[in-house]
C-alpha cells in the first residue's frame, strides 16, 4: 500500500490546520470541540466559513466540492437563490409564531400531492422527532408497544430508536439470523431494547420468522428503502414487496423513513419500489436547509391524531422559515432536476465500477440514486447486502485513507463511505471526482 493512514492523516491536518486549532479551542466549551461529532475526520472536523452552490469554503480558504451537503440536506446546493429569496421575503413578517401560518398549509399540500401514500401530514423540528412521532402514532393506532427495525437502520438518536443502528460486532450482537437489540450509546435505559425487535436487511425468511413470532406485540416496522447512516444498503425489490404483504397480513404498520431517500424520485423512493406505507417520515430537503421533520400517512391512521388520542406538540413545529424554505426547495426539485441528479450518479457508478473491475480493485458502489455509498472491500467482487457486510467485508484502513486523501485534494465525501450530489454540480465536477477517486484508489493499492 503506497499510502499509509498516518501519513494521510498528517497531510489532512496540515491542509486543514486552522480547523485542527479550532477543534482544540472548542473543547474548552463543547465536548469534543463541536456538536456534530459525525463530522469528525480522524481527530477533528473541517470548519466551514461559507457555502456557495456546490462548493464548501473552509476557514483555511480551501474550496471543497461538497459531497456531504449536510448529510444530503442541501440538494440544491448552498444559498440557492429561490430559497434565499423566499426566506428574505418572509423574514419581515416575523419568524416565531405559535399560530399556524399559510406556509405550513402550503408545504403540507405540496407534499400530500407529491407523495401518493400521504393524505395528511404533521410537522416536527427534525426527522429524529418525526420518527418518534411516527412510532407514537403506530402504538396509539394498533394498541401494541413493540417496534421492529433493521440492524443498521438509523432513525435518529432518541432512546427508543438508537438501537442497533451502529451495533458493535464485539458486543455480542447475536447470530446473523437472530440479531440482538443493542443500544447505540451509554445512557439508554436497558428496558428500551426490550421493546425493539431487530430485523435483517434483504433476508425475508428471517424477517418473516421474527415478525410472525412477535406479531401480537409489534406495532410497526421502520424501514429505510436505502439504509444510510448505518452504512448504505440497497434493498431488493422482491424483499420490499414481500415485507409489505406480510406487515398487512399481521396488522403491523409499515413506516418508511424517507428522510434521505425522498430525493430519489419525484414521489420518493417508495414510488420507485411501488410500495405504499402506512406512514412516511420526512426531513432534510423538505426544509430547504432549515431544521424540519414530518410524518405523513393515511387519513385512517391519522385519525388517532385528529381525535387527540395521540398527542404531539412542540414550540417550533411548522416553523415559518423552515416551511417557507421547504416550499421553495421542493418546487425547484422537479422531475427534470431529479433526473439530472440521478444521471450524474449513474455516470459515477458506471465509470468507477467499470474502471475498478478492469484494474482488479476491490471497490463497490451501492445505491440507485443521487445519494450513494462506496466501499473498499477486503477482496474484489464482494457485495454489500446487509449491515453486517460492513463488519466482515470492508477494509476500514483503506476507507479512512480514501476519505482523508479526497478531502486534502478538494473533495468532501461523508467519511464513512457516502456521497450526495447537488443540482449545481457540473460535468467537470463529476469528472474531477471520478479522476481523483481513481488517483487515490490507485495509490492505496500501490499502483499510482
pLDDT in tens, 122-138: 999 999 999 999 999 99
CB 207 within 8 A of CB 348: no
pLDDT band at 98 (very low <50, low <70, confident <90, very high): confident
Residues 88 and 198 placed together within one structural domain of the fold: yes
In this structure, the answer to whether residues 370 and 273 fall within a common structural domain is no
Q: Do 355 and 318 belong to one domain?
A: no
CB 223 within 8 A of CB 243: yes
Cα–Cα distance measured from residue 234 to residue 257, given in angstroms and rounded to the nearest whole number: 14
Mean pLDDT of 346-359: 98
| C-alpha span between 346 and 339 (Å, rounded) | 10
CA distances from 429 to 67, 171, 422, 434 (A): 11, 42, 11, 9
pLDDT score for 27: 92
C-alpha R_g of the chain: 22
Mean of the per-residue pLDDT values of the chain: 96
- The yes-or-no verdict on residue 408 having pLDDT over 70 is yes
pTM of the complete model beyond 0.85: yes
Same domain, 100 and 196: yes
Strands of 224-340 (E only): list them. 226-227, 233-234, 253-257, 279-283, 293-297
| 239: phi then psi, degrees, rounded to nearest 5 | -60, -45
Q: Are 242 and 368 part of one and the same domain?
A: no
Average pLDDT of span 4-15: 94
> Do 108 and 231 share a structural domain?
yes
Contacts of 433 (CB under 8 A, 6+ apart): 65, 67, 348, 411, 419
Average pLDDT over residues 267-290: 98
Q: What are phi and psi of 145, to 5 degrees?
A: -100, -35
Cell of 403: 476519505
- The DSSP call for residue 180 is P
The pLDDT of 290-298, averaged and rounded, is 98
pLDDT of residue 317: 95
Residues 169 and 259 in one domain: yes
Q: How far is Cα 260 from Cα 84, in angstroms, rounded to an integer? A: 22
Say if CB 283 and CB 127 are below 8 A apart. yes
Instruction: Say if residue 2's pLDDT is above 90.
Output: no
Of 290, 317, 332, the residue at which a domain comes to its end is 332
DSSP letter for each residue of 88-116: HHHGGG-S--SS--HHHHHHHHHHHHHST
Is the pLDDT confidence value at 415 over 70? Answer: yes
Q: Shortest CA distance to 369 belongs to which of 247, 230, 271?
A: 271
Do residues 300 and 278 share a domain?
Answer: yes
How many domains would you assign to the chain?
2
Give SS3 for 74: coil
Give the three-state DSSP class for 49.
strand
Residue 444: pLDDT above 90? yes
Helix axes 320-332, 102-114, angle to 10 degrees: 40
Do residue 29 and residue 152 come from a single domain?
A: no
Task: Verify that 19 and 99 share a domain, yes or no.
Answer: no
How many other CB atoms are found less than 10 A from the CB of residue 261?
A: 26
Whether 142 and 18 map to the same domain: the answer is no
Strand-pair partners of 66? 412
Q: Which of 332, 360, 388 is the last residue of a domain?
A: 332
**pLDDT for res 448:** 61
Domain ranges, residue 165? 81-332
CATH of the domain at 104: 3.40.640.10
Where is the domain boundary, 276, 303, 332? 332
Q: Could you give the strand order of the β-sheet that contains 418-420, starting from the edge strand earlier in sequence? A: 363-366, 371-376, 418-420
In the prediction, which pLDDT does 447 show?
75
How would residue 28 be classed by pLDDT, with cut points 50, 70 and 90? Answer: very high
* Residues 47 and 179 occupy one common structural domain: no
CATH code where residue 17 lies = 3.90.1150.10
Residue 38: the pLDDT is: 79
Higher pLDDT residue, 331 or 36? 331
Amino acid at each position: 500500500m503506497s499510502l499509509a493512514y498516518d501519513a494521510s492523516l498528517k497531510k489532512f491536518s496540515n491542509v486543514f490546520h486552522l480547523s485542527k486549532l479550532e477543534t482544540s479551542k472548542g473543547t474548552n466549551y463543547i465536548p469534543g470541540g463541536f456538536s456534530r461529532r459525525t463530522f469528525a475526520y480522524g481527530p477533528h472536523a473541517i470548519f466551514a466559513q461559507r457555502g456557495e452552490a456546490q462548493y464548501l469554503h473552509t476557514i483555511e480558504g480551501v474550496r471543497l466540492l461538497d459531497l456531504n451537503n449536510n448529510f444530503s440536506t442541501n440538494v440544491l446546493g448552498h444559498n440557492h437563490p429561490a430559497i434565499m429569496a423566499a426566506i428574505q421575503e418572509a423574514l419581515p413578517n416575523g419568524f416565531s409564531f405559535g399560530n399556524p401560518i399559510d406556509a405550513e398549509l402550503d408545504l403540507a399540500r405540496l407534499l400530500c400531492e407529491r407523495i401518493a401514500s400521504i393524505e395528511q401530514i404533521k410537522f416536527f423540528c427534525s426527522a429524529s422527532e418525526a420518527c418518534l412521532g411516527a412510532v407514537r402514532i403506530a402504538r396509539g393506532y394498533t394498541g401494541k408497544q413493540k417496534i421492529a427495525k433493521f440492524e443498521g437502520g438509523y432513525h435518529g438518536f432518541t432512546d427508543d430508536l438508537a438501537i442497533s443502528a451502529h451495533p458493535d460486532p464485539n458486543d455480542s450482537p447475536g447470530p446473523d439470523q437472530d440479531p440482538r437489540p443493542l443500544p447505540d450509546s451509554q445512557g439508554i435505559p436497558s428496558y428500551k431494547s426490550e421493546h425493539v425487535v431487530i430485523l435483517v436487511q434483504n433476508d425475508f425468511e428471517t424477517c418473516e420468522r421474527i415478525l410472525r413470532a412477535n406479531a401480537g406485540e409489534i406495532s410497526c416496522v421502520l424501514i429505510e428503502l436505502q439504509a444510510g447512516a448505518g452504512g448504505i444498503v440497497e434493498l431488493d425489490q422482491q424483499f420490499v414487496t414481500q415485507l409489505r404483504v406480510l406487515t398487512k397480513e399481521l396488522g403491523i404498520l409499515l413506516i418508511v423513513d424517507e428522510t434521505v431517500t425522498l430525493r430519489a424520485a419525484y414521489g420518493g423512493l417508495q414510488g420507485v419500489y411501488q410500495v405504499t406505507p402506512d406512514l412516511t417520515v420526512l426531513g432534510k430537503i423538505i426544509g430547504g436547509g432549515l431544521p424540519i421533520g414530518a410524518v405523513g400517512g393515511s387519513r385512517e391512521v391519522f385519525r388517532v391524531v385528529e381525535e387527540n388520542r395521540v398527542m404531539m406538540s412542540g414550540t417550533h413545529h411548522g416553523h415559518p422559515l423552515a416551511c417557507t424554505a421547504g416550499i421553495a426547495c421542493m418546487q425547484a426539485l422537479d422531475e427534470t432536476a431529479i433526473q439530472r441528479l440521478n444521471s450524474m450518479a449513474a455516470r459515477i457508478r458506471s465509470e468507477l465500477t467499470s474502471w475498478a473491475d478492469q484494474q482488479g480493485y476491490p471497490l463497490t458502489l451501492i445505491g440507485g440514486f443521487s445519494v450513494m455509498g462506496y466501499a473498499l472491500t477486503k477482496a474484489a467482487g464482494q457485495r454489500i447486502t446487509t449491515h453486517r457486510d460492513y463488519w466482515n467485508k470492508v477494509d476500514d484502513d483503506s476507507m479512512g485513507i480514501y476519505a482523508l486523501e479526497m478531502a486534502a485534494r478538494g473533495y468532501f465525501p461523508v467519511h464513512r463511505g457516502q456521497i450526495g450530489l447537488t443540482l449545481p454540480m457540473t460535468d467537470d465536477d463529476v469528472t474531477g471526482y471520478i479522476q481523483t477517486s481513481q488517483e487515490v484508489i490507485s495509490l492505496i493499492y500501490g499502483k499510482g
